[in-house]
Amino acid sequence: HLKLAHRVNSIEVSLIVRLSETAAARKAAGEDVISLGTGEPDFGTPDFVLDAARAAMERGETRYTANTGTAALKTAIVANYRNKGIGIGPKNIIASAGAKQVLFNAFMATLDEGDEVVIPAPYWTSYVDMVSMCEGVPVTIPTSAREGFVVSPQALEQAITPRTKWVLLNSPSNPSGGAYDHDQLRALLPVFERQRHVGLMSDEIYEHLVYDDFSFVSALEALPELAERTLVVNGVSKAYAMTGWRLGYGIGPEVLIGAMAAVQGQATSAPSSISQAAAIGALEGPIAVLKERRADFERRRDLVVAGLNAIDGLVCSRPRGAFYAFPDCTGLLGRRAPGGRLITTDTELCEYFLDRAGVAVVPGVAFGAPGHFRLSYAYAQSALEQALERIAAASAALS
């Protein structure tokens, strides 16, 4: 049989994928499983976005576009950032098949073997695998609920070496919901001023999903001094419920965008012309829809956080954004399941929840933060209520 490249040996089949496959198989077998594992909104794509896509098809926009995206899409993105007081031009933009491809292009374009990427944990699982695939070395720094899952300047600086290429921030964060406010971003500036060889990659895909009075700030807005070495990663997947359209974009200095374009040009070329048109519809659409959906997510967040904190053994901080809760479950570890099985890790606890309660959640170890699990609250309120009841009963059954 064909020998595979060493490159793929370093990629682990994601725990998230494994667990959701197990949950799906059980569901298919007729079991009553509530899966709170995946990271996508349960809303449909808004009608005005569908209309924009239909209109594009009818206009015949069904051909290859420019590699880095259409002029019209770039105009919409430029306008969006101008509204935030951030001046960018079309040459600072690349549109790709999801934020994921933006990240991948960036790593492909910038990492030589052994180059390091500093990633605060808990982190989105794909970051470390992508870095490894591109022969880089992920260097993770733990953050805690107490600090709001935000990295301190001291911890950040300690993690930086002469091999560091990027610091990768994700605000609001999947899985923790932590987010950097203006001052927390500014506090990192002296580190970057001392470490001039380090770039800032800022994944802002959840920018519109923030709650209470938290006000989202882009790295480009808070740290304009770093614009020449900042890549903002964004897209329409999460805010506009467009995960299947595969449309993300990167904003960065021209030279970097050019290198990313070279990677993309040989891998996939531009993203779908229709998805690009749909994204223009999203970016230029009424923000009332975003507000409504945000309010809906906020209610569900409150329900889930309160429900989890009511369970003995779980402690859940209040996420500032995204649509995940990330409770600390160390209080349940070391207990025994009915039947005698000892639960010692977050993975075993999640397996137990699936077996006993029919609820699928993802262990924190998948995000570099063992002793937690992630639950997505982008599900119907009734499913969330039922899942919480079941988790509570299963937790109470541990002794």
Cβ neighbour number for residue 21 with a 10 Å cutoff: 13
Residue with Cβ nearer ligand PLP (216 or 352): 216
Burial of 279 (0-12, 13-18, 19+ CB in 10 A): buried
Q: What angle do CA 305, 311, 312 make, to 5 degrees?
A: 135
- Span between the terminal Cα atoms of the chain, in Å: 49
Beta bridge partners of 140: 119
Q: 205 vs 332, which CB is nearer to ligand PLP?
A: 205
Question: For residue 190, what are the contacts with CB-CB under 8 A and spacing of at least 6?
Answer: 153
Residue number with CB closer to ligand PLP (276 or 395) = 276
* Chain centroid offset of residue 58 CA: 33
Nearer of residues 20 and 195 to ligand PLP, judged by Cβ: 20
Smallest distance, ligand PLP to C-beta of residue 50, A: 18
Nearer to ligand PLP, 273 or 275 (CB): 275
- Which two three-digit tokens encode residue 67? 């590699």
Amino acid at 57: M
Find the shortest distance in angstroms from Cβ 364 to ligand PLP. 15
Q: Which residue is nearest to ligand PLP (CB)?
A: 98
3-state secondary structure (DSSP) of residue 372: strand
**Rounded Cα distance, 73 and 80, in Å:** 11
> How are the residues of the chain apportioned to helix, strand and coil, as percentages rounded to the nearest 5?
45, 15, 40
C-beta of 235: minimal distance to ligand PLP in Å? 4
Helix (H) or strand (E) holding 170: strand 164-170
Q: Which is nearer to ligand PLP, 203 or 311 (CB)?
A: 203
- What are the tokens at 122? 């808990």
Task: Decide whether 98 or 363 has the Cβ nearer to ligand PLP.
Answer: 98
Closest CB to ligand PLP among 203 and 328?
203
CB of 159 to ligand PLP, least distance (A): 20
What is the smallest separation between the CB atom of 270 and ligand PLP, expressed in angstroms?
Answer: 15
Output the CA angle 123-126-130, nearest 5 degrees.
120
We find the least distance from the C-beta atom of residue 244 to ligand PLP, in angstroms, to be: 9
Least distance between ligand PLP and beta carbon 96 (Å):
8
Interface residues toward ligand PLP, by CB under 6 A: 39, 98-100, 124, 170, 174, 203, 205, 235, 237, 243, 248
DSSP secondary structure of 177-236 = -----HHHHHTTHHHHHH-TT-EEEEE-TTTT-B-TT-----HHHH-GGGGGGEEEEEES
CB of 39 to ligand PLP, least distance (A): 4
Output 100 or 300, the one with its CB closest to ligand PLP. Answer: 100
Tokens of 332: 């349940």
Q: Enumerate the H helices of 68-181 as residue ranges.
A: 71-82, 98-110, 125-133, 153-159
Going 122 to 223 to 318 to 325, the CA torsion angle's sign is negative
Q: How far is the CB of 248 from ligand PLP (least distance, A)?
A: 4
